[in-house]
Amino acid sequence: MSWAALVPVLLLAASNVVMNIAWYGHLKVPHLALWLAVLAAWGIALFEYSLAVPANRIGSATYSLAELKTIQEVLSLATFVVVAWVLFDQRPGPSQIAGFTLIAGGAWLVFKAPFG
């Protein structure tokens, strides 16, 4: 994989780790006022955008928009599994693994474009 193809993937991976923490990290502190949780998530999301926007800008030279979105979605699920496992000790069960496998099949279709 070329550097031009790898950089957007790495930036999107980092972006998704940060965003999953913004979405779910506040659940570790349920006593925190909701407005503070929202404010914290917005602050984290602002940082996440500083990774996602360059990833898409750089990636658009190598990937189609559909491919960039597919990379982002697959990484979102993958990083979600890691965040859920590390922060909440929630491992994916058979149904989740089957669902993620179907999504991976959809990603394969986007990248291989066997139907034109």
What is the pLDDT at residue 113? 75
Average pLDDT on 69-75 reads: 94
Q: Distances from the Cα of 41 to the Cαs of 9, 49, 70, in angstroms?
A: 23, 12, 24
What is the pLDDT at residue 116? 65
Residue 12, C-beta contacts closer than 8 angstroms, at least 6 positions apart:
51, 52, 55, 59, 68, 71, 72, 75
Domain count, the chain: 1
Average pLDDT along the chain: 93
Percent of the chain surpassing pLDDT 90: 91
Q: Which domain holds residue 28?
A: 3-112
What is the pLDDT at residue 96? 93
pLDDT-based confidence at residue 74 (cuts at 50, 70, 90): very high
Q: Tell me which of 114 and 35 has the higher pLDDT.
A: 35
pLDDT-based confidence at residue 115 (cuts at 50, 70, 90): confident
Q: Distances from the Cα of 60 to the Cαs of 38, 84, 85, 103, in angstroms?
A: 31, 30, 32, 22
